Amino acid sequence: MDMPAPPDPRGLVVCPRCDALHHAPSLKAGGRADCARCGTVLEAPRRISVAEVLALSATVGVLMLGALFLPFLSISSMGLRNDSSIIDAALAFSTGLQTPLVLTVLASIVLLPLARVALLWWAMAPLAFGGAPLPGARAALALDEDLKPWAMAEIFVVGVAVALVKIADLASLTIGPAFWMLICAVLVGTLQEALTDRSALWRELEVARTRARASA
Ligand SMILES: [Zn+2]
């Protein structure tokens, strides 16, 4: 009885997340292949290194921290002037029933993007510096991907722009540095997502884990 020939392993790729086996796609730069089972990006050829991804993500982190604490808006009306940062605004509304809403908004604007920066650095920074991955690196990289849809600073920027147009008639507004920092954070974050080859991050992590296990 003839056994079927085993598939040629050279033409196959394994999903780094769910281990589903796929035929290796042939993609040009800018193309993308997703896992059929869990949707993880398998291949998306691009040209930026892990260190460059980390640099962009650190930039987002610094801009987000600035956006959180520096003055976001000053409103002056009839001789009174009030500067407020995002944190001030959150604290001002954080009493009673509004607390959960304020925390959710704060989380989706700045806390989740900051958490994603920390997770990406936890997962990838030791590799960029030539070291072994930290414990939980795979989980950190996976969680970073899972949080992506919930981090929505850009929607807040649009909301603020709409609100500004409406308030401009009532009081004179000055936009503070935090507003511009948040816009820059959104732009740099979008650039980072567009240039990052997630499949390359997973591959590099896997290579580093194998190397660390072999030398242990
Ligand atoms: Zn998968």
Q: Which domains does the chain have, with CATH numbers?
A: 49-215 (1.20.140)
CB proximity list for 146: less than 8 A, separation 6 or greater: none
The single residue listed with the structure tokens 């960029």 is 128
Query: 141 CA to middle of ligand 1, Å?
Result: 14
Give just the sign of the alpha carbon dihedral 29, 34, 39, 41: negative
Q: Which two tokens stand for residue 120?
A: 């990406």
Query: 22 CA to middle of ligand 1, Å?
Result: 9
Which residues face 94 on adjacent strands?
A: none
Give just the sign of the alpha carbon dihedral 133, 33, 36, 19: negative
Query: 13 CA to middle of ligand 1, Å?
Result: 11
CB 67 within 8 Å of CB 178: yes
Query: 162 CA to middle of ligand 1, Å?
Result: 40
What are the helix and strand counts (H, E) for the chain? 8, 7
Query: 87 CA to middle of ligand 1, Å?
Result: 39
> What is the C-alpha to C-alpha distance for residues 107 and 3, in angstroms, rounded to an integer?
56
> What is the C-alpha to C-alpha distance for residues 188 and 48, in angstroms, rounded to an integer?
14
Per-residue tens of pLDDT for the chain, all 216 residues: 566 666 566 778 888 889 999 888 777 766 788 899 998 888 777 667 888 999 999 999 999 999 989 998 888 878 888 888 888 888 877 777 888 888 888 888 888 999 999 999 999 999 888 888 999 999 999 999 999 888 777 788 888 888 888 877 777 888 889 999 999 999 999 999 888 888 888 888 988 888 888 887
Query: 54 CA to middle of ligand 1, Å?
Result: 24
* Helix, strand, coil percentages for the chain (3-state, nearest 5): 60, 10, 30
Query: 37 CA to middle of ligand 1, Å?
Result: 5
Opening angle at CA 148, ends 50 and 126, nearest 5: 30
Query: 201 CA to middle of ligand 1, Å?
Result: 15
Strands (E), the chain: 12-14, 21-23, 33-34, 41-43, 73-77, 80-84, 172-175
Query: 210 CA to middle of ligand 1, Å?
Result: 20
Query: 127 CA to middle of ligand 1, Å?
Result: 23
Query: 155 CA to middle of ligand 1, Å?
Result: 29
pLDDT recorded at residue 1: 54
pLDDT recorded at residue 213: 86
